[in-house]
Structure 1
Amino acid sequence: MKKRKTIAVIAADVFNDYMNRIFVGISEQCKELGYDVLTFLMAFNLDSGNLIQQGEENIFTLVKKNIIDGVVLMAGNLASQNLIDKFVKVFSHWGIPVVALDHDFDFCDSIYADDTKLFEQMTDHFIEVHGCSRIMCLTGPEGSKPAETRLAGYKNSMEKHGLEIGEGDIIYGDFWKIVSQRLAKEFIEGKREMPEAVICANDTMARYLASALVKGGKNIPEDIRISGYDGSNDAILNIPSISTVLPENERMGARAVCILHKKISGMNVEPVETLAHGRLLFARSCGCGSATYHSVSTREEYHNRVVRYENYFKKSGMLESLMEEENLDGLLHKLNGFVYAINGLDTYMLCLNKNWDNIEGDEGDYVREGYAALMEARMVYTRKKTEFTSRSFRSNDILPHFIDEYCSEPSTYFLLPVHFMDRCFGYSVFRFSDIRCAASNVFAMWNRNISVALEFLRVRTKLLSINQRIFMSSIRDTLTGIYNRHGFNRMAEGIFRKACQEKKQLFIIIADLDRLKMINDNYGHIEGDTAITAVANALNTSCELNEVCARTGGDEFAIIGCGNYSPDKIQEHYRYIYDYLTRYNASAKKGYTVGVSLGCFCEVPDENEPLDKYIKIADTRMYENKVKRKKLRED
């Protein structure tokens, strides 16, 4: 039953500090307002449409109108335009409140980081502190809202200081390395006059520009000054360290929640005061020094929060260890031993489709889109204990109704798909004690290992099942269903060894169907098969748990067992077989009578003698019985 309002966050590529700060703002603001947050994530963010991507995107089918009260759509970091178009179509049709980050849509509000002023301040710094007048701006793709707003800050500062923006001083880049490296090459080869400074619209372009220039023999900041934008750890830890803008992403995430809250409740609220404001971080690349204290503290904090756990994960051998397990229960218990690799993990739940492995089904018949109506929470980890359970819930509820047993307060959950290619197994639910720990991609790779291990277990179990069926068909008689000679030989050896070791009686009955040739010749082979089946049923149903029955030839059968047999017990076997056939003949009303000749051996065997010796004894006695029965028929 739904207790709290719930906001869905649609995202990908969140495993970095830039995106993580947005989640900090969303989480803190939702906690303040009493909302749960369901973050639907993809570990792979491609625009390929391949089977892996289909399996990743399937997580978004969990989003349900009756569960979700509002949506934060991080469309700016989704690679697939087709996926974005699907969200637009669905959410505009549902009519629920939606706020898009870093992307403009007609059907909903859109917000961006308030970065014009900060970018202007960084440009001011180059002019006022370092005396630069010839400054170039390397921004993002032309028409991109973040690229244009940051460019506007650069223009504002240049105009405010009465500095001319020359032709070619504004360069539209790619927020990646290609344009940066090309620009550095032009500077080094003298094809473009090198300015005093380059203000970059993100840290990635700034880092690649600096790296290419240093390799080309240029000194930073002596020959040229550079700055970035994002406040990323990569920039601070770069050599040389990059002066950068730490945007107010936390407050942007909080503002998105505030807008949704106004649409849901009608109430205006302001972002939580404790959330960080944007600021400038000065480092070596602009000439303000190495920012040693900030760099060291950032490096230490980043190592403790991210790098240390990435190393734990890399050295864990998790995937290989999980793949050793031969059943799901063993795999889950083994999985519990690897939660240490995820920093700050407070709660974890593995939710699998009911009949997730579909062992008995056709190989091509599996869940590709959506999830099974009934899910099973097969493992629930908390800091206090881990439960290996199989509690069912409806996939339409997204989170199980019993989630409050583990997380009673408003919480932020991360949901990742568990799949192999487009084969859906279920999904994982992660909850962190500190959202900042979700900046690492370890939990996504950890989840990926679960997917691969489950597929390996599924395939192995399937192959074992197929092999078992092939084996069973090789040791079973296709007409009667009882063991064939090959099966009898395999089973008989084990029973014989047990009788020898435990000094128990070896019980053997050899049986032969009477007059099978006459039945085939006069009534046809179908009737002959019917007679064979009748004798097989008579013999097989006479067996107890310690005995097996087999058809060892066309009209020949055998029973073998091990135990304590009295003469009366042996006679019970005989009576049962003959009584069964008497009842059969009376009800079948055939033109012939189904009969069987029997011979028996029942003694403690000598372990130094072969099994065949005792089978031949029973066979000889059967033949003697057959001669007597024939003579009786002739008389």
Structure 2
Amino acid sequence: MGEEAENMACKNIAVLMTGLDANVQAETLRGIEDYGKACGYNIAVFVWFTGAYEREKHNVGECNIANLPDLNLFDGVLVFANTLHVSDNRIIVEKLIEKLDCPVVCIGCKIGDNYSVQTDCYYAMKKLVEHFIVEHNMDRIHFVRGVEGNADAEARYKGYKDALAEHNIPFDIERVTQGDFYVTGGRKAVEEILSSDLEFPQAIVCANDIMALTVSDLLTTKGYRVPEDVAVSGYDDTEEGKYHIPSLTTVRSRIYDLGRTACTILIDVVDGKEREKEVLLTDEIVLGESCGCNRGDKLFVDQVNRLKHSEDVAQRTKIHQLIMLEKDIIEGQDYDSWSQSIKSFIESINPEEFYCCVNDNFIDNVFGSDAMIHDSTETEDLLPYTDNVQSIIVYKNGSFKRGTTFESKYGLAELFKETKTPKTYLFTPLHYLDRTFGYFVFVDDVFVRNSSIFIYWLINMGHTLENVRRNTLLRNVTKHLDELYIRDSLTGAYNRFGMERFFADIKKKCLMSRLNMQLSFIDLDNLKKINDQFGHEEGDRVISQAAKILMASTTKFSVVRYGGDEFIVMGNIKTEKEVEDYWKRVNKEVEAYNASGKGRAELSLTMGYKIFEVGPDTSLEECINEADSIMYEKKKAKKNRR
């Protein structure tokens, strides 16, 4: 029973988060994975990348990955609540979790009455500001806030204000910049400081490392020295801050413990154990060089530079692969080319497992010849995942496997199958703005973690697919307009413009392949009599039926409506038998139609055909005249028999 015992169905934890490119989120997730997988749980991470500075429709399309699974299928849900900076996205997640039957643990801040694990941002920021006041004797301290309304951001802001108050330093709103936890917040702070009439600050305290690093770098380009001219600090103790020159003074959150503790509480609750509703972890101040406390030596700087060089080489390699991928997709413009381009890239990064899952209408909507520009552009039509999705590209154990179709509510069917060991499944959206194409799933892979290149890849995939879709629409519209130009509006057969075009193709094939051309001239009998007796509506119906039979009876000849009651059928042939067989099929269909009683008037056709050896000087008009003459003789003979 060894193998059978090992192959057990894992339990599943769903994780909803944004910003896996940040070290804070990546390290918190690592804590979740380590504990959850050790307890036999798969970790299914539904991750998106949004910022307050991005377009609304892009944010909607990104966060839509949270709507993919039926979260009640999971044993429990973990939510990175403090990363929900975009208010609309926060509302989406809050609505999702408020109707769940399974336990929910929020990380970073509370949502509703759910369990939560947080860090004490207030106390740590207060102590950091006091460090500048007491240890560095500073009182001109500028503060760069995080996203307004975010629990961590507000706690850090309050810590700053209370530290000033306790040391009798007047609070000045002019020394506060409303940031956003992103590069844009740091840039805004520098612009406000440099344009302010206030005396230049002695220190700039930022609500996170990203804004602090941006402030430090921008001020350096403006000629200011950090920390000699101005001290700078952040919050989060990121890898970028550690290896920055100067290294960043910051606050180290117990981010790994944050994830591990949240996962511990969730599994305890799943197992029926009692747990406290709120857990608060303490943070720790890390004194770097940017406040003036610690100065690095040359050896350390050299080591950092070598490390950065090594990372730069790896990044350049990845970027080159991404550029080639985009080039291949744009040049391909069809499904097979697109699919092969994705496969080539996936082979180059060689993940443990990879799945490209798409809506069941994906191929038709993006690459299909019937996709048209009048398709819906409303978000409610573009955004949802279809009930069933297809895994069109599957990569496991170094090779590509056959995909499957499954219900989208499962996210990935493999999650709910028996497995030897638990895994981490990272789900990321494939979309352009609010148009959903599908999603990618990386299993136990490092490419997606703490990587801005991965975000570029994701956005690039959505953009290139949208370019392909638009080019498909353009080709389809052009083809449709062309069809209108060369088609007869009543019957759908080709008109004289179409006839000229197809004769050129037929002539070319005759000259290159030693084929002959057959040209049949057809006249619809008694059309005037039908119009007089039954009306023009019935006459038009008979004309349309004749064209329908002529076109349905062949796959290789072109059918042309030459005049009111005249048709031409022409094409390449090897033997005359091909023409004879065609007319046998036509006559059989005409007899069947008349016997059916569907029409008030009888359908009757007279035709004459001739086989031509086509040369460079062959005239279409002369060929038509010869076939017309043969038809006319048959028509006279038919009248004489009556």
TM-score range, shorter chain: 0.7 to 0.9
Q: Does the 8 Å CA contact 1:20/1:438 hold for their aligned counterparts? A: yes
Q: 1:330 to 1:301 in 2, by over 3 A?
A: same
Amino acid at match of 2:340: H
Distance in 1 (CA, whole Å) between partners of 2:223 and 2:518 is: 93
Of 220, 245, 249, the residue aligned with 1:243 is 249
> Where do residues 608-627 of structure 1 align in structure 2 (5 Å cutoff)?
608-627=617-636
How far apart are residue 125 of structure 1 and its match?
8.3
Amino acid at match of 1:110: S
Distance in 1 (CA, whole Å) between partners of 2:560 and 2:188 is: 78
1:335-355 deviation line (CA, Å, top 9, x unaligned)? 22334786x843321110001
Q: Who is 2:560 aligned against?
A: 550
Distance in 2 (CA, whole Å) between partners of 1:443 and 1:121 is: 36
Q: Does the 8 Å CA contact 1:99/1:256 hold for their aligned counterparts? A: yes
Q: Does the 8 Å CA contact 2:177/2:192 hold for their aligned counterparts? A: no
Q: Who is 2:115 aligned against?
A: 109
Q: Who is 1:332 aligned against?
A: 339
Distance in 1 (CA, whole Å) between partners of 2:545 and 2:66 is: 58
**Alignment of 1:321 onto 2:328:** yes
Q: Does the 8 Å CA contact 2:50/2:86 hold for their aligned counterparts? A: no
Describe the SS at the equivalent of 2:237. coil
Q: Who is 1:416 aligned against?
A: 428
Distance in 2 (CA, whole Å) between partners of 1:238 and 1:37 is: 33
Distance in 2 (CA, whole Å) between partners of 1:312 and 1:531 is: 64
Of 19, 35, 38, the residue aligned with 1:32 is 38
How far apart are residue 569 of structure 1 and its match?
7.5
**Alignment of 1:66 onto 2:79:** no
How far apart are residue 331 of structure 1 and its match?
0.4
Q: Who is 1:398 aligned against?
A: 411
**Alignment of 1:604 onto 2:613:** yes
1:190-247 deviation line (CA, Å, top 9, x unaligned)? 848x77x777664356546656876887765556665543222443344433334443
Describe the SS at the equivalent of 1:286. coil
How far apart are residue 374 of structure 1 and its match?
0.5
Q: Who is 1:351 aligned against?
A: 357
Q: Who is 1:513 aligned against?
A: 524
How far apart are residue 376 of structure 1 and its match?
0.4
Q: 1:47 to 1:201 in 2, by over 3 A?
A: closer
Q: Which moved more, 1:24-33 or 1:295-304?
A: 295-304
Of 441, 466, 470, the residue aligned with 1:455 is 466
Q: 1:558 to 1:173 in 2, by over 3 A?
A: closer
Q: 1:614 to 1:237 in 2, by over 3 A?
A: same
Amino acid at match of 2:384: G
Q: Does the 8 Å CA contact 2:488/2:495 hold for their aligned counterparts? A: yes
Q: 1:2 to 1:107 in 2, by over 3 A?
A: farther
TM-score, normalization by structure 2:
0.79
Distance in 2 (CA, whole Å) between partners of 1:570 and 1:234 is: 77
**Alignment of 1:385 onto 2:399:** yes
How far apart are residue 373 of structure 1 and its match?
0.8
Query: Identity of aligned pairs, percent?
Result: 26
Distance in 2 (CA, whole Å) between partners of 1:92 and 1:210 is: 41
1:407-437 deviation line (CA, Å, top 9, x unaligned)? 85322222222122222111111234448x6
Describe the SS at the equivalent of 1:230. coil
**Alignment of 1:471 onto 2:482:** yes
Q: Does the 8 Å CA contact 1:258/1:268 hold for their aligned counterparts? A: no
Distance in 1 (CA, whole Å) between partners of 2:247 and 2:578 is: 92
Q: Which moved more, 1:302-311 or 1:329-338?
A: 302-311
Q: Does the 8 Å CA contact 2:81/2:107 hold for their aligned counterparts? A: yes
How far apart are residue 7 of structure 1 and its match?
2.1
Q: Structure 2 stretches of 5 or more lacking a match?
A: 1-6, 180-184, 276-282
Q: Who is 2:3 aligned against?
A: none
Describe the SS at the equivalent of 2:72. coil
TM-score, normalization by structure 1:
0.80
> Where do residues 73-222 of structure 1 align in structure 2 (5 Å cutoff)?
73-113=79-119, 132=136, 146=152, 165-168=167-170, 174=178, 176-177=185-186, 181=190, 191=199, 202-204=208-210, 206-207=212-213, 220-221=226-227
Distance in 1 (CA, whole Å) between partners of 2:601 and 2:578 is: 30
Q: Does the 8 Å CA contact 1:10/1:74 hold for their aligned counterparts? A: yes
How far apart are residue 3 of structure 1 and its match?
2.7
Q: Which moved more, 1:514-523 or 1:327-336?
A: 514-523
Amino acid at match of 1:471: D
Q: Who is 2:263 aligned against?
A: 257
How far apart are residue 24 of structure 1 and its match?
2.0
Amino acid at match of 1:486: F
Distance in 2 (CA, whole Å) between partners of 1:390 and 1:588 is: 50
Q: 1:48 to 1:498 in 2, by over 3 A?
A: closer
Q: Which moved more, 1:316-325 or 1:212-221?
A: 212-221
Q: 1:338 to 1:581 in 2, by over 3 A?
A: closer
Q: Which moved more, 1:21-30 or 1:459-468?
A: 459-468
Describe the SS at the equivalent of 1:41. strand
Amino acid at match of 1:16: A
Amino acid at match of 2:423: S
Of 420, 431, 438, the residue aligned with 1:426 is 438
Q: 1:292 to 1:92 in 2, by over 3 A?
A: farther
Q: 1:462 to 1:115 in 2, by over 3 A?
A: closer
Q: Who is 1:371 aligned against?
A: 385
**Alignment of 1:494 onto 2:505:** yes
Distance in 2 (CA, whole Å) between partners of 1:549 and 1:155 is: 83
Distance in 2 (CA, whole Å) between partners of 1:472 and 1:615 is: 23
Q: Who is 1:272 aligned against?
A: none
Distance in 1 (CA, whole Å) between partners of 2:105 and 2:458 is: 28
How far apart are residue 252 of structure 1 and its match?
1.6
Distance in 2 (CA, whole Å) between partners of 1:604 and 1:488 is: 18
Q: 1:485 to 1:104 in 2, by over 3 A?
A: same
Q: Which structure is larger by alpha-carbon Rg, 1 or 2?
A: 1
Q: Does the 8 Å CA contact 2:59/2:89 hold for their aligned counterparts? A: no
Q: 1:544 to 1:117 in 2, by over 3 A?
A: closer
Q: 1:592 to 1:288 in 2, by over 3 A?
A: closer
Q: Who is 2:278 aligned against?
A: none
Q: What value does the CA root-mean-square deviation take over the aligned residues?
A: 4.5
Q: Does the 8 Å CA contact 2:82/2:150 hold for their aligned counterparts? A: no
Distance in 1 (CA, whole Å) between partners of 2:503 and 2:16 is: 63
Q: 1:200 to 1:545 in 2, by over 3 A?
A: closer
Distance in 1 (CA, whole Å) between partners of 2:114 and 2:598 is: 82
